[in-house]
């Protein structure tokens, strides 16, 4: 089991940032790498257990299931059901915390998963920088507008 | 139940911020509203259950207990046991998280507590603004004052030796046995710190060690017992110091005449901003000596008459200044007229000039025949009979040095003639306990800050010229402190 952890500070109040990212079906609107997304079975995207089925801009298909959604803690966690990444037991959490000093937001995103030992470093980099940090960078740009 | 939450981003790596916050007793060093703080019962500040007892600058007093501390989660939880403020059931948690984007630190500080009805807003503001927001600013300022940290740590390869220039006594003997040498400095082990020294104090005890009169070194070995500098790196288990901290020490065994030194962290005290490195190197051993002689061995009271020998020497000048400030009448002995002027300037009311150990009659003359209530004696055997004659009834003879050899042939019957007290104190016995050491250093620095003690450093030498410095010190031509600069 390895853990990847990425965190950043976003120059906007936590309420505003959360409003932008709480939609489990909303990845195409704020991440740079998702082409389109739908929720399976016509479920609402804030129903615990719902599955998002989305396509990456590079063509890969991913299915992820919503495990936790908390408007009180600004927190969302999910697991990967299917993906081309070659990871098992993948559970990720995205969490916001207000920074009272400056009315900004501390954003954390971490994942735990299993994979072949020789792929650990590459996957940790791909997920930590290529996915989480890339999404944060895009979100920071959106919040500046 | 009131809940207060404040959070901030600190522009420093989490390891650096945590090194400050994990020390439950560090807040008096960085929090603007905390005046002073101690951990009760000499416990370590990372002992779960330890109690910090502290005073706020507004005079309120608070006792808080450490409930939880985690180096893996960077969390510290504590509660108020009792306070002069009407706060009940106060439990607070400090949590740090790493901001991987930019290697910064997110600091979350929250608490819940009760206060009397109607005063909720007042205490929400006090805790949120005064304590937490004030604390964020305090730590930011503290870290700015102590740059370095993991950045300077990374300059030194962990676990690697360094080489430095030092001066060693190649055998016991005169000043000529002091020779410059290149020395290896091992990395700090558990509980140790490696220090880049910027100023080294010379003391008369170094001369005794060089001559082999005190069995403290095995030549070839460097001399020296006090210095100031900057922490290069720290070993495991060192919690009160960080790379970049300005520190000073006075301790045995000798080994201070070097550029870089590894030594136990427990000897080091952090320097206040107002005390520069040269002053610290000049005052640690001599100032703390004056501190314990005047405040511990004998608690000097206003109105007492004090006899200070070598009143223009390193310790002598400080004793005169401090004794005068405490309200004593100060009589000093010196060897020359030039030194007499220095002693008078330091507060001596009456100066006896002469190098022949004849002063008892003059002391009695100056005190209407009474003699001195306290004698601070660094002379030893050659002046023993005169000192006894100069001592008042029920007087206290404090022999803290023995320039002419140890006092012998002094008997209990002799002391009985005057109901006299004889003390033979050693600095390092007083400073062995860390809590006492920090107290002694703090009182000495405070005396410097208040101008009670002043240092006129007239004798600076490059480290390699240590032999010349020793010649001058033994030639009795120096006034005040001597320092070596690596």
Instruction: Enter the ipTM.
Output: 0.87
Tell me the mean pLDDT in the region B216-224.
93
- Give all strands of the β-sheet with B61-70 in edge-to-edge order: B2-10, B104-114, B88-99, B75-83, B61-70, B51-56, B34-39
Which residues are CB-contacts of A27 (< 8 A; sequence separation ≥ 6)?
A: A34, A37, A52, A54
Domain that holds residue A77: 2-144
Please give the pLDDT value at position B39.
92
Cα separation, B128 vs B240, in Å, equals: 27
**Which pLDDT value is given to residue B159?**
61
CA nearest to A5 within chain B: B100
Best of B6, B106, B131 to mutate (most A CBs within 10 Å, chain A): B106
pTM for the full predicted model: 0.58
Residue B153 is predicted with a pLDDT of 37
SS3 (DSSP) at B164: strand
Give A129→chain B minimum CA distance, Å. 10
What pLDDT does B227 receive? 97
Secondary structure in 3-state letters for B200-246: EEECHHHHHHHHCCCCCCCCCEECCCEEEEEEEEECCCCCCCCCCCE
Instruction: Check B9 against A136: CB less than 8 A apart.
Output: no
**In whole numbers, what is the pLDDT of chain B averaged over residues?**
91
Q: Are B438 and B412 in contact (CB under 8 A)?
A: no
pLDDT of residue B204: 87
Round to whole Å and give the CA distance between B191 and B189: 6
Q: Cα separations (Å) of A69 from A21, B37, B130?
A: 11, 44, 35
What is the predicted pLDDT for the residue at B370? 95
A71 has a pLDDT exceeding 90: yes
Q: Which residues from chain B sit within 8 angstroms of residue A9, using beta carbons?
A: 9, 99, 101-102, 104, 106
For B172, residues 6+ apart whose C-beta sits below 8 A from its C-beta are B210, B211, B212, B219
- Identify which of A63, A74, A70 has the alpha carbon closest to the alpha carbon of residue A12: A74
- State the pLDDT at residue B234: 86
**Nearest residue of A to residue B101, measured between CA atoms:** A8
pLDDT tens digit sequence for A125-135: 999 999 999 99
CATH number of the domain bearing residue A93: 3.30.530.20
- How many folded domains does chain A comprise? 1
Cβ–Cβ below 8 Å for B136 and A102: no
CA of A43 vs chain B CAs: smallest distance (Å): 35
Binning pLDDT at 50, 70 and 90, where does residue B146 land? low
Establish if A8 touches chain B: CB-CB under 8 angstroms. yes
Nearest alpha-carbon partner for B483 in B474, B475, B473: B473
Q: Which of A5, A99, A133 shows the shortest C-beta gap to B9? A: A99
Domains and CATH numbers, chain B: 2-144 (3.30.530.20), 163-285+430-485 (3.90.180.10), 302-424 (3.40.50.720)
Output phi, psi for B9, to 5 deg. Answer: -110, 125
- Which is nearest to B54 in space by CA: B27, B17, B74? B27
Write out the two tokens for B452.
Answer: 């009670």
Residue of B nearest to A4 (CA): B100
- Closest partner residue to A8 (CB to CB) among B6, B99, B108 is B99
**Alpha carbon separation from B478 to B7, B14, B288, B312, B345 (Å, rounded):** 56, 49, 21, 9, 16
Enumerate the H helices of B224-359 as residue ranges: 277-292, 314-325, 337-345
Candidates B4, B72, B74, B101: best to mutate against A (most CBs of A within 10 A) is B101
Indicate whether B279 pLDDT > 80: yes
Pairing outcome for strands B482-485 and B329-334: unpaired
Computed over every residue of chain A, the mean pLDDT equals 94
| Res B382: pLDDT | 87
Residue B44 has pLDDT above 90, yes or no: no
* Interval B6-21 mean pLDDT: 91
% chain A with pLDDT above 90: 94
CB B347 within 8 A of CB B323: yes
Nearest CA in chain B to A129: B101
Chain B residues with a Cβ under 8 Å from any Cβ in chain A:
5-9, 97-102, 104, 106, 108, 133, 136
pLDDT of residue B148 exceeding 60, the answer is: no
Residues A14-68 have pLDDT tens digits of 999 999 999 999 999 999 999 999 999 989 999 999 999 999 999 999 999 999 9
Q: How confident is the model at residue B90 (pLDDT cuts 50, 70, 90)?
A: very high
Distance between CA atoms of A66 and A45, rounded to whole angstroms?
8
For A99, nearest residue in chain B (alpha carbons) = B7
What value, to the nearest 5°, has the Cα angle with vertex B369 and ends B363 and B370?
85
Distance from the Cα of A124 to chain B's closest Cα (Å) equals 14
A98 contacts on B by Cβ (under 8 Å): 5, 7
Is the minimum CB–CB distance between A105 and chain B shorter than 8 Å?
no
Burial degree of B94 (CB within 10 A; 0-12, 13-18, 19+): buried
Asked if the bond preceding B449 is cis, omega within 30° of 0, the reply is no
- Burial of residue B17, with CB atoms counted within 10 A of its CB: 0-12 exposed, 13-18 middle, 19 or more buried: buried
Query: Residue A97 and residue B106: Cβ atoms within 8 Å?
Result: yes
A98 touching chain B per CB within 8 A: yes
Query: pLDDT tens digits for B105-124?
Result: 999 999 999 999 999 999 99
Q: What does the alpha-carbon distance between residue A125 and residue A137 come to, in Å, rounded to a whole number?
A: 16
What span, in angstroms and rounded, lies between the C-alpha atoms of B101 and B43?
38
Chain A residues whose CB is inside 8 A of the B5 CB are 98, 100
How far apart are the C-alpha atoms of A71 and A48, rounded to whole Å? Answer: 13
Contact B100 A6 (CB under 8 A): yes
Q: Does A130 touch chain B (CB under 8 A)?
A: no
Of A100, A108, A133, the CB nearest to B7: A100
pLDDT at B169: 95
| Chain B: closest CA distance from residue A99 (Å) | 5
């Amino acid at each position: 089991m390895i853990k990847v952890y990425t965190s950043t500070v976003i120059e906007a109040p936590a309420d505003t940032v959360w409003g932008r990212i709480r939609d489990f079906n909303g990845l195409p609107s704020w991440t740079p790498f998702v082409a389109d997304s739908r929720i399976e079975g016509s479920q609402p995207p804030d129903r615990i257990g719902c599955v998002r089925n989305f396509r990456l801009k590079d063509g890969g298909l991913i299915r992820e299931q919503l495990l936790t959604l908390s408007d009180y803690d600004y927190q969302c966690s999910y697991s990967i059901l299917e993906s081309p990444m070659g990871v098992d037991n993948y559970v990720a959490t995205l969490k916001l915390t207000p920074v009272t000093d400056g009315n900004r937001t501390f954003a954390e995103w971490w994942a735990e998963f299993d994979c072949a030992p020789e792929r650990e470093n590459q996957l940790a980099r791909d997920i930590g920088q290529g996915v989480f940090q890339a999404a944060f960078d895009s979100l920071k740009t959106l919040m500046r507008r | 139940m009131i809940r207060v939450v404040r959070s901030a981003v600190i522009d420093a790596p989490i390891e650096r911020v945590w090194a400050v916050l994990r020390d439950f007793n560090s807040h008096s060093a960085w929090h603007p509203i905390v005046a002073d703080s101690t951990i009760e019962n000499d416990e370590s500040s990372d002992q779960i259950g330890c109690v910090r007892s502290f005073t706020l600058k507004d005079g309120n007093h608070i006792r808080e207990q450490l409930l939880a501390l985690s180096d893996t989660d960077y969390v510290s939880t504590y509660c108020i046991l009792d306070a002069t403020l009407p706060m009940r059931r106060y439990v607070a948690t400090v949590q740090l998280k790493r901001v991987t984007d930019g290697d910064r630190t997110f600091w979350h500080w929250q608490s819940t507590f009760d206060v009397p009805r109607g005063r909720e807003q007042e205490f929400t503001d006090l805790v949120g603004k005064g304590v937490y927001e004030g604390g964020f600013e305090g730590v930011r300022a503290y870290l700015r004052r102590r740059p370095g940290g993991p950045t300077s740590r990374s300059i030194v390869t962990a676990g690697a030796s360094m080489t430095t220039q030092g001066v060693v006594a190649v055998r016991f003997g005169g000043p000529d046995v002091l020779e410059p040498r290149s020395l290896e400095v091992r990395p700090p082990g558990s509980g140790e710190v490696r220090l880049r020294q910027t100023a080294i104090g010379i003391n008369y005890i170094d001369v005794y060690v060089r001559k082999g009169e005190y069995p403290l070194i095995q030549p070839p070995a460097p001399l020296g017992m006090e210095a100031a500098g900057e922490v290069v790196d720290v070993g495991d288990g060192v919690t009160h110091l960080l790379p970049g901290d300005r520190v000073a020490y006075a301790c045995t065994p000798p080994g201070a005449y070097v550029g870089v030194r590894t030594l136990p962290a427990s000897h080091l005290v952090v320097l206040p901003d107002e005390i520069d490195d040269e002053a610290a190197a000049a005052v640690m051993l001599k100032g703390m000596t004056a501190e314990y002689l005047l405040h511990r061995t004998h608690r000097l009271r206003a109105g007492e008459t004090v006899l200070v020998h070598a009143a223009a020497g390193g310790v002598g000048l400080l004793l005169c200044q401090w004794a005068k400030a405490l309200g004593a009448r100060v009589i000093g002995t010196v060897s020359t007229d030039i030194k007499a002027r220095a002693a008078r300037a330091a507060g001596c009311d009456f100066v006896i000039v002469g190098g022949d150990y004849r002063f008892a009659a003059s002391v009695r003359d100056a005190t209407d025949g009474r003699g001195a209530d306290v004698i601070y004696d660094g002379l030893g055997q050659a002046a023993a009979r005169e000192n006894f004659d100069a001592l008042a009834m029920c007087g206290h003879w404090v022999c803290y040095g023995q320039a002419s050899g140890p006092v012998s042939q002094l008997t209990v019957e002799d002391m009985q003639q005057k109901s006299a007290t004889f003390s033979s104190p050693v600095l390092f016995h007083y400073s062995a306990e860390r809590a006492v050491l920090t107290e002694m250093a703090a009182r000495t620095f405070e005396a410097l800050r208040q101008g009670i003690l002043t240092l006129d450093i007239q004798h600076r030498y490059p480290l390699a010229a240590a032999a010349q410095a020793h010649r001058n010190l033994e030639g009795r031509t120096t006034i005040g402190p001597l320092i070596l600069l690596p």
